[in-house]
C-alpha cells in the first residue's frame, strides 16, 4: 500500500504539486488524467524518488519511502518513462537484465515471455519498432519484481493495435498483484481499462475515485473544456 500524505513539490517559488493525499492499493490499475502541465509527470517522478517532496510524505507500508537508499527504492518502485533511448548498443536480453540488479534474480526469460517478446531476446534495441521497444522496457520493469509500476504516457506515438496491446499488458500486470499507475491523455483507454482514476489540474488533485464515476461527461468537460466525444 502506497500512501501520500500532504505531498507537495516546489521548484524555487513555483509550486508544481499542491498538497495532495491519497492511497494506492495493489491489484489495481490507476490512471492519472489532466491537461499538459497539470503535474502528472511531476507526481510520478516524486513517487519514484527522482524528485524529493518539498513537504509531506510518501509512505510504503506505513514507512517513509524517500528515507530509503536508491537501491531500496528500486526494489519497490519502477518507472517506465515516456521517452526511451534506443541508441545504447544493447541487445534486448542485456536491457532486461538491467532490471534484475536490485534483486539479483534472473527472470529475463520470464519477463520477456510475459510481454510476448522472448523471440526478440537477441535483437538490438536499435532494430525494434516503437511498440516492441515499449514492451521491452516494461519487461525490464517486470524483471525488477517491484510491486509498484509507474508509467508515463506508455502508448504515446504508438498505432492503435500497439496501444491496445500495451493497455491489456498493464491490466494483466495489475492483476498479478501490482500497483500500476499510468499518466495518460488517452481518456478512452483509461475509461475502458483502468480501475480508478485521479484527475490533476494545475498541480491540484481535483478528483479521484472509480473510473466510471470520475470520467463522467461533466467532469471531462470541466477539466478539459471539451465534450466526452472529443476523446472517442
For 175-188, what is each residue's pLDDT tens digit? Answer: 999 999 999 999 99
211 falls in which pLDDT band (50, 70, 90)?
Answer: very high
Q: State the SS3 of 32-58.
A: EECCCCCCHHHHHHHHHCCCCCCEEEE
Q: Which three cell numbers stand for residue 150?
A: 509507474
Checking if the pLDDT of 230 tops 60, the result is no
Phi-psi region of 8 (alpha: psi -120 to 50; beta: other; left: phi over 0): beta
Separation of alpha carbons 187 and 31, rounded Å: 9
Angle at 22 between CA 230 and CA 138, to 5 degrees: 65
Q: Flag the least confident range among 49-63, 67-81, 163-177.
A: 67-81
Domain ranges of the chain: 2-231
* pLDDT for res 41: 93
> How do residues 119-153 score in pLDDT, each as one tens digit?
999 999 888 888 888 888 888 888 888 899 999 99
Which residue, chain included where needed, has cell 513537504? 55
pLDDT at residue 84, as a whole number: 66
In percent, how much of the chain has pLDDT > 90?
Answer: 50
Confidence check: pLDDT of 48 > 60? yes
Kindly report the length of the chain. 232
Listed as own residue / partner, the contacts of 186-191 with beta carbons closer than 8 Å and 24 or more positions apart are 186/155, 186/231, 187/33, 187/215, 187/220, 187/228, 187/231, 188/231, 188/232, 189/155, 189/163, 190/31, 190/33, 190/215, 191/215
Please report which confidence band the pLDDT of residue 228 belongs to, taking 50, 70 and 90 as the band edges. Answer: low
Report the candidate in 58, 65, 68, 66 with the shortest Cα–Cα distance to residue 20: 58
pLDDT above 60 (res 227): no
d(CA 106, CA 92): 14
pLDDT at 150: 95
| Mean predicted confidence (pLDDT) in 97-102 | 77
Please name every residue paired with 77 in a beta bridge, in sequence order, or none if there are none.
148
Class for the domain spanning 2-231: alpha beta
Work out the pLDDT band at 103, boundaries 50, 70, 90: low
Edge-to-edge strand list for the sheet holding 55-60:
14-24, 2-11, 55-60, 63-64
Mean pLDDT of 87-115: 80
Measured distance CA(49)–CA(77) in Å, rounded: 9
Question: Which tops the pLDDT comparison, 211 or 104?
Answer: 211
Amino acid at each position: 500500500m502506497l500512501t501520500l500524505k500532504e505531498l507537495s513539490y516546489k521548484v524555487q517559488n513555483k509550486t508544481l504539486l499542491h498538497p495532495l493525499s491519497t492511497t494506492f492499493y495493489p491489484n489495481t490499475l490507476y490512471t492519472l488524467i489532466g491537461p499538459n502541465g497539470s503535474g502528472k509527470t511531476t507526481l510520478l517522478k516524486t513517487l519514484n524518488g527522482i524528485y524529493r517532496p518539498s513537504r509531506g510524505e510518501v509512505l510504503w507500508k506505513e514507512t517513509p519511502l524517500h528515507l530509503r537508499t536508491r537501491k531500496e527504492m528500486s526494489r519497490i518502485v519502477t518507472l517506465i518513462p515516456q521517452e526511451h533511448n534506443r541508441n545504447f548498443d544493447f541487445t534486448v536480453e542485456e536491457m532486461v537484465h538491467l532490471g534484475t540488479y536490485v534483486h539479483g534474480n534472473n527472470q529475463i526469460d520470464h519477463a520477456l515471455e510475459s510481454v510476448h517478446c522472448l523471440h526478440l531476446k537477441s535483437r538490438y534495441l536499435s532494430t525494434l519498432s516503437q511498440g516492441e521497444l515499449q514492451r521491452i522496457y516494461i519487461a525490464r520493469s517486470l524483471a525488477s519484481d517491484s510491486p509498484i509500476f509507474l508509467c508515463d504516457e506508455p502508448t504515446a506515438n504508438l498505432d492503435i493495435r500497439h496501444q491496445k496491446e500495451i493497455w491489456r499488458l498493464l491490466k494483466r500486470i495489475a492483476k498479478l498483484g501490482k500497483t500500476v499507475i499510468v499518466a495518460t491523455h488517452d481518456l478512452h483507454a483509461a475509461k475502458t481499462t483502468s480501475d480508478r482514476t485521479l484527475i490533476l489540474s494545475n498541480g491540484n488533485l481535483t478528483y479521484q475515485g472509480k473510473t466510471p464515476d470520475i470520467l463522467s461527461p461533466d467532469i471531462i468537460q470541466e477539466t478539459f473544456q471539451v465534450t466526452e466525444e472529443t476523446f472517442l
